[in-house]
Structure 1
Amino acid sequence: MMRTLVAECKIPSAPSRYEEVETMAESIGYEVVDTIVQHRKNLHHTYCIGPGKLEEIKMLVAENDIEAVVFANTLPSAQIFKIQRVLGGTEIKVIDRNLLILEVFDKRAMTKEAKLQIALAKLRYTFSWGREFLRLEGILGGQVGWSGPGDYPYHDYERTAKKRIANMEKELRDVYSKKTLLRDHRRERGFPIVALAGYTQSGKTTFFNRMSAEHKDTGLGPFTTLSTFARRIDQNNGGDNFSFILIDSIGFIEDMHPTILKAFNTTLGEISNADLILLFVDVSEDLESIFRKLNASKEILKKIAAKVPLVICANKTDRSSDLQLEEGKKLISRTFEGVPLIELSALKGINTEAVVKEAYHHLNGSASPTPSSSLELHSSP
């Protein structure tokens, strides 16, 4: 396990993310031995945190044999390289929240599609780093080649990176075309599609496993599910047999970098093409966390599936007190006004039949969605 320090520069205009970063880091094998949070009015232009605080981190790195420093902030490449130089050069690993997310993705990836998406996101996210690294090497005394700082070596790097990106995009197009054919085939056979959505670790995969009798991994930490999984579900609703395709997909996360989000556009597109979305919300968390995650989920759904009918699944009631559940439901109803809400415990199987019944009504037209049951006409905060 890599001994790690988590650092954050907390400014008034942005929520704190160090706890989320700690959880993600520990879920993939980092050993978080210390955390430093600095409160500032603005991010420092050179190091994100102040130079004095960076010197403090440098001391902690030396005293505690720390091998990696993970920032809860988003860092430009120049800041990462400059921080790394202060802390001791390339022997100390310095990454930001986005690179950590990509590492989590990399650990979780099981399918060809997911692995290609992650590799493509990494290349796109770090594309500008070659030039920045070579520029800084030239400015700070490194040898960068005979064409001047960042010129000839960078052009060689850029050509190679662009070629790799083009090849990966072609491979992904081939994967996507096969998935599109499969989706069209399902529709031709008359199977409606129900997509599970929600913030990472809200219990979607637990529900998927219960409904499909699958044994997909759960509880491994954020982003246990990266690729979409689809299974036909056969149900009986009061003597009326019906079938639908249930899709489990990647969990949402707050403030995901656009480059990373773009790499998973097609995975998220499975949600866009659904006939109904079951949005899972973990009501066992504190109200502030629920509020932030509700809004993050809402913003993503407005971008990718504003017209798709929605049912909210207030999950993990087995871990919630009565008061906690009621307060959570009130918050959900204010955020998603007019959207049907069902409380359940996917883990214990409590009230899951009510979710199926609600899905049946939507899919069979006996519960015509009101305008506010999708996000197309509902944009209030």
Structure 2
Amino acid sequence: MSENFPFPQSNANSEGSATSGDSSRGGGRRFAHAPTNNRRRWPLVLLWTVVAVILIGGGAAAWYGFTLNNSFNKAEKIAPEEIFPEETDRPAEVERPEGASDDAQNILLLGSDTRGEVGDDLEDIRGQRSDTIMVVHIPADRDNVQVMSIMRDNWVEIPGHGMNKINAAMSLGGVPLLVQTVEGIIDVRIDHVAIVDFEGFKGMTDALGGVTINNPRAFSSRGATFPEGEITLNGDDALKFVRDRYSFADGDYTRVANQQLYIKGVVSKLMSRDTLTSPGKIADVVDEIAPYLTIDAGMDTGYIAKLGLSMRDVRGDNISFFTSPTLGTGREGAQSVVRPDWDELAIVAEHFRTDTLDEYAE
């Protein structure tokens, strides 16, 4: 990549950079914190499965809840102390707004690509680098959802290890260090963590009968051709679509945009009448992803059920995507890196803290 080239931020709702208003905080920010390793795991699948369950009512909800409970038994669960940093290394708790019945939730979704199922031992996800990093913000009013992608080459301070690419945090200190690093950027706590192997959403895509997207740019990757316009991806092609970055002059910028585009397609398919009225299809989707999923133990079926009920009115149009602001690319020694826009990130952090991220995402 060319040095300091100002590539635009991605937004799955509209091409271009995200904008926002003034911030009470400006200037460069410190950051830092790091996570645990995992095989490349594709995150958003979990959230969207949850969202789909959330949208069902009555007896159907009971069925999906039962299915989800059984499938979650196949997912690896990790104790909170092995997921989150020490209390003294975390941001202060955000006070609940007056009259709010629910707290805002921030879920860290990590994707990795190990081409295999999640192992039974936490050591299996240590020493890896997180390939996909997304923060899902669910506001206290449960009216919408925002998903912020963090490019893996962002050059940040990793606590105790100096400056490095953010995706190195996992290999340096596991999930807790990555969580700490991300919390240092958004200045609020991560409530839950989900790590998904890319292989999991391959099966999920096929269980959905394919995922349709509107591809803004034609390209070819690993024997697959993706023409411009509306296309339907099967599991194999979906993996190639979201993994590729070498076909694009801006590398990971387009890769992240494609991931957001694909996730939007997954959400639309999960929320379609065809899917929501088919218990068998939902069961197949959950069964396909669960063996490739690692979650913190707090994401049990009770939490999922409560979250689902509170989000029953959320629809695809209420979910927005954006990429954490950057200033383009540069070099650190032999490494090509992405330069964070710290002034803009201070604004993003303020929106996280005040639970107004929807204003920024728009």
Q: TM-score, normalization: structure 1? A: 0.25
Q: Which has the higher helix share?
A: 1
